Amino acid sequence: MVRPRSIEAHEKVLNAALELFAERGIEATSMDAISQASGVSKATIYNHWSDKEALLLEAMLMIHGLDREPEDVDTGDIQRDLTTVLTRKPPDKCDGVRNRLTPTLIAYSAFHPEFGREWRHRVTEPPRQCIKKILRRGISNGQLAPDLDIEASVALLLGPMLYAHIFSKEDPSRKPDLGPVSAATFWKAHSQNRKERVAGLGIKKSTPKSKAR
């Protein structure tokens, strides 16, 4: 099936923009250069994007796999659902251009705070919302405590991944996947079923015996 010309032009512009952003930097890449590299007129480009930052945002969302609504996860197993969200990865085919662009994007976001805020919101909000839905399901079906602090729980679950991403200097391909560990640790600590089993065993904290004098 032949794709509509507007879709084909859209993809050409995105691909050309990504290559130029990675090669020249964001600031040094003009809409004229993107038009020339893609073979799409500047008028057509502005029909699709209001400005260069709108084009940049869509291009970055695409290579991070964030250009579509995430699938809802509901297997009935809270730990498995949390693990699925925490281990989602961007498309492998975009690894090269994503790795080349990330330092440039960080620098650009620092000097353009409004874009930086929008980028962070678009990157962090989808997994946050997915995790909140899973936790609410766990509360409603009795697997998690009704008074569970959802915001604090999201921070506990995402914290290890953010820490590893920001502070780890290892090769990304060699980093341990903390998603399953984070989900398992959270479940072990907060599962109502586990707490009920422990309570059913009648386990009590032992108190140290006083020393004989």
Q: Could you read off the pLDDT of 28-58 as tens digits, one per residue?
A: 999 999 999 999 999 999 999 999 999 999 9
Angle between helices 5-24 and 95-111 (to 10 degrees): 70
Are 102 and 30 in the same domain?
no
Number of domains into which the chain is organized: 2
Are 28 and 105 in the same domain?
no
Residues 47/9, Cβ–Cβ less than 8 Å: no
Residue 96: inside a domain, yes or no? yes
Residue 90 in 3-state DSSP?
Answer: coil
Q: Average pLDDT, whole number, for the chain?
A: 84
Are 143 and 101 in the same domain?
yes
Q: So what's the pLDDT on residue 98?
A: 84
How far apart, in whole angstroms, are the C-alpha atoms of residue 55 and residue 43? 14
Q: So what's the pLDDT on residue 111?
A: 92
Q: Assign residue 13 the CATH number of its domain.
A: 1.10.10.60
Are 90 and 135 in the same domain?
yes
Is the pLDDT reported for residue 94 higher than 90?
Answer: no
Q: Which residues pair with 191 in a beta bridge?
A: 144
Are 56 and 96 in the same domain?
no
**Closest by CA position to 10, among listed 58, 57, 51:** 58
Q: So what's the pLDDT on residue 205?
A: 46
Could you read off the pLDDT of 124-141 as tens digits, one per residue?
788 899 999 999 999 999
Q: Quick one: pLDDT band at residue 75, thresholds 50, 70, 90?
A: very high
Q: Which residue has the higher pLDDT, 20 or 94?
A: 20
Are 116 and 186 in the same domain?
yes
* DSSP calls for 19-79: HHHHHH-STT--HHHHHHHHT--HHHHHHH-SSHHHHHHHHHHHHTT-SSPPPP--SS-HH
Residue 202: inside a domain, yes or no? no
Is the pLDDT reported for residue 196 higher than 50?
Answer: yes
Q: Assign residue 123 the CATH number of its domain.
A: 1.10.357.10
Tokens 């620092």 sit on residue = 110
Residue 205: inside a domain, yes or no? no
Residue 69: inside a domain, yes or no? no
Residues 76/173, Cβ–Cβ less than 8 Å: no
Residue 87: inside a domain, yes or no? yes
Are 20 and 83 in the same domain?
no
Q: Which residue has the higher pLDDT, 162 or 211?
A: 162
Q: So what's the pLDDT on residue 172?
A: 53
Residue 198: inside a domain, yes or no? no
Are 83 and 161 in the same domain?
yes
Are 123 and 53 in the same domain?
no
Q: So what's the pLDDT on residue 67?
A: 72
Least confident stretch, 87-91, 119-123, 130-134, 181-185: 87-91
Q: Does the pTM exceed 0.75?
A: no
Are 145 and 92 in the same domain?
yes
Output the furthest CA–CA distance in the chain (Å, rounded). 93
Are 41 and 124 in the same domain?
no
Are 184 and 83 in the same domain?
yes
Structural domain span for residue 186: 78-169+178-191
Is the pLDDT reported for residue 197 higher than 60?
Answer: no
**Closest by CA position to 154, among listed 164, 142, 162, 146:** 162
Residue 153: inside a domain, yes or no? yes
As a whole number, mean pLDDT of residues 59-80 equals: 84
